[in-house]
Amino acid sequence: MTMTTHTQSQTPAPASRPPFLVRRRTVFTWVVPLLLLIAVLMLRPQGGHAAWLAGVALVALGEIVRFWAAGYISKDAAIATGGPYAFVRNPLYFGSLLLSVGYGLVSGFGWAGVLVLVALYLVFHLAAIFYEEKFLKAKFGQPYLDYLHRVPRLIPSPWPRTDGPGGFSWAQALKNREHISALFALIFVALLSLRFLVH
């Protein structure tokens, strides 16, 4: 889940089976990039180096945001309101949105690629965001509702909306396996960039 302050849960949330799209988020994480790579190698889009550089910058920024968020969050254990969670309730998902736009630009398909990836991102991740908000409301109650009303859902505020405690922890980021996401992003950008060699 996308939450860390240190407000502990008082009562357990009722168990509920996540919706289909929430359970299948890995389709977007692994299958959609694979399909994009196949399309790039087969269709050999003509996107230039400027779009590629912009895409690489967005992928790097997306992974920085995700690593920052992963270093603050103890999933399902407490509400995270410090660090990136002071600017946006779902910094992990915001980082993934930046990755989607970046991959679209790196692919060479231009804005068409970006629009397709962002549309697929919204299909899979908005369902997860709404499900997790419902879960967190049930688990943490009023403290989460207060946080929810102060901090935007997906697009960050230009200034912090809370002053939550805590600090970034590399150990927590690694525990949340964000280094695997970063490694995947690096490899995927390298594979997409092969299009410059296959013309």
Model pTM score: 0.85
List domains and CATH numbers for the chain.
26-196 (1.20.120)
**Angle separating helix axes 91-107 and 49-70, nearest 10 degrees:** 160
Predicted confidence (pLDDT) per residue in 82-111, tens digit: 999 999 999 999 999 999 999 999 999 999
- Say yes or no to pLDDT of 6 above 50: no
CB atoms within 10 A of CB 164: 21
Predicted confidence (pLDDT) per residue in 146-192, tens digit: 999 999 999 999 999 998 777 899 999 999 899 999 999 999 999 99
Q: Identify the band that residue 124 occupies on the pLDDT scale cut at 50, 70 and 90.
A: confident
